[in-house]
Amino acid sequence: MSRTKSPPEPAAAPGWDYAPAPETAPVEIASRYGHFIAGEFVPAADGAEFATINPATEEELSRVARGGAEDVERAVAAARRALPRWSRLPGRERAKYLFRIARRLQERARELAVLETLDGGKPIRESRDVDVPEAARHFFYHAGWADKLEFAFPGRRPKPVGVCGQIIPWNFPLLMAAWKLAPALACGNTVVLKPAETTPLTALRLAEILQECELPPGVVNIVTGDGETGAALAAHRGVRKIAFTGSTEVGKKLAAAVAGSRRRLTLELGGKSANIVCEDASLDQAVEGVIDAIFFNQGHVCCAGSRLLVQESILEEFLEKLDWRLRSLRVGDPLDKNTDVGAINSRAQLDRIRTYLRIGLEEGGRLHECHDQPLPAKGFWCRPCYFTNVQPADTLAREEVFGPVLAVMSFRTPEEAIARANNTPYGLAAGIWSDKGSRIFALAARLQAGVVWCNTYNRFDASSPFGGYKESGFGREGGRQGLRPYLELER
């Protein structure tokens, strides 16, 4: 197949000027928040607290209780007390609470979106159009399962596992809370949830919603804190099932801690997902998809398409288009509705990303920033970028950066693309761009990844199972398969 080269794009940056379009919906934030235990907000037992800041301004938003062993103990005790009644409540009644929560999330959608963007730095466009509606969708979808569980597992009688300890990350704070809570509650379990240290505010707002919905006290308990709080929760013998989303490093520690205890574990961990662009792909569509794959949520996405594999014959043309598109990305105020790339979630994460940028250069990679607009003076920022001249053994091709940094490599044949894509201990996601259906499905079948996006990327839905192969974890979230970790299957 011959390909005529498309006319050169304008060499300069697109240079479109946008007037600021800030989201102005006001959100009230209390000066301090306690844990949510047994239906009430309570301070930490030892009075400890920590600040949560806006990463776009570095200003303090609120002070939040720091959970210790005693707080975890109280929360688990509350969840255990609530378990008998909640698990015996008929499924159709449990469902109604979940439907209520979904509705209330929809009613308070804008407030939640603004709060998410303030606390985490993600563009309002994403929190408004993805995080919050998907969170509501998760409760709505799982609500309907509550009275249908016996149809999901033929030949078995599903029973709740008990108290679940759920530890969630900072990249999709409210959405991850919904991913964890909705299936657990639908299956009749009670929960202690530990939100991420840098993004506790939307989970605490969700706690208010649970109060409004009159969810029985103790069914959901939220203990805020840091890694030590999470470790205390995972170590608690009253927790029968642990669900963790976060780094592979922490996931392996949890696995070691749980070994031999007869407690259940699901892990949704890191990734270094390959995004494969074949020479017959629709190039403009693929460029757009590659941008979405790596720069969505500043690249703070476990399934980010962070390894781009482009077929050699189209590499040059593809990179020209990618440069042009990178220059048009708007980086800055997350509350501006035109912003594409917001603030890096924390100073610690920015430091990690900068370390990877330095290593990438030291190992001989070539950095392409393209984007050259000024960045805000305060806050944590990283220009979206990509590296060329990356070898498969290089750090940027192997390790998860969790930032807006793309490693570009090439391949000649589909076999080589598969070998390169699978050459990683991770196996969370993959992307394929091609106009040939049979090629797409042949590649999709061979890629060791729990989610394969064909001619699209970063699509999520509550009905669609998500989770990894290999060291990206085990267990699925979403869909029928996502119910399995929250149930014992009895005969």
Binding residues for another protein, per CB under 8 A? 137, 153-156, 248, 251-253, 255-256, 258-260, 265, 267, 269, 425, 427, 440, 444, 449-456, 459, 461, 463-467, 469-474, 476, 479-481, 484, 489, 491
CA atoms within 13 A on the CB side of 79: 32
How far apart, in whole angstroms, are the C-alpha atoms of residue 56 and residue 376?
8
Q: How far is the CB of 277 from another protein (least distance, A)?
A: 16
Nearer to another protein, 352 or 446 (CB): 446
Angle between helices 201-212 and 109-120 (to 10 degrees): 160
- Contact 252/134 with Cβ under 8 angstroms? no
In the bound complex, what is the minimum distance in angstroms from residue 159's beta carbon to another protein?
14
Strand bridging mode 163-167 / 241-245: parallel
In whole angstroms, the minimum distance from the beta carbon of 456 to another protein comes to: 5
- β-strands 385-388, 366-368 pairing: antiparallel
Instruction: Quote the least distance from Cβ 167 to another protein, whole Å.
Output: 16
Nearer to another protein, 252 or 354 (CB): 252
Closer residue to another protein (CB): 81 or 398? 398
Q: Across 256-356, where does the E strand assignment appear?
A: 264-268, 274-277, 307-311
Beta carbons within 10 angstroms of residue 89's beta carbon: 17
Q: Which of 213, 302, 303, 382 is catalytic?
A: 302
Kindly tell me which of 253 and 330 has the beta carbon lying closer to another protein: 253
Q: Which residues is 221 bridged to in the sheet?
A: 192
Q: Catalytic residue at 268?
A: yes
410 vs 434 by CB, closer to another protein: 434
Distance CA 457, CA 274 (A): 11
Angle in degrees, CA 345, 229, 216, rounded to 5 = 100
The yes-or-no answer on residue 187 being catalytic is no
Q: Round to whole Å and give the CA distance between 35 and 345.
A: 22
- Buried b / exposed e over 208-229, threshold 16 CB at 10 Å, is ebbeebebebbbbbbbbbeeeb
Give the span between the Cα atoms of 88 and 94, in whole angstroms: 9
Question: Phi then psi for 348, rounded to 5 degrees?
Answer: -60, -40
Nearer to another protein, 413 or 456 (CB): 456
Which entry of 23, 268, 400, 477 is annotated as an active-site residue?
Answer: 268
Question: Nearest distance from residue 93's CB to another protein, in Å?
Answer: 25
Q: How far apart are alpha carbons 453 and 472 in whole angstroms?
A: 17
**Residue 333 to residue 18: CA distance in whole angstroms:** 13
What whole-number distance in Å separates Cα of residue 358 and Cα of residue 107?
45
Shortest distance, position 20 Cβ to another protein, whole Å:
31
Q: Minimum distance between the CB of residue 452 and another protein, rounded to whole angstroms? A: 5
| Cβ-based nearer residue to another protein, 201 or 267 | 267
Q: Which of 80, 239, 263 is nearest to 167 (CA)?
A: 239
From the CB of 201, what's the least distance to another protein, in Å? 28
Q: What residues have CB less than 8 Å from 193, skipping those under 6 apart?
A: 166, 168, 177, 180, 181, 203, 220, 221, 222, 223
Nearer to another protein, 12 or 393 (CB): 393
Which residues are part of the catalytic machinery? 268, 302
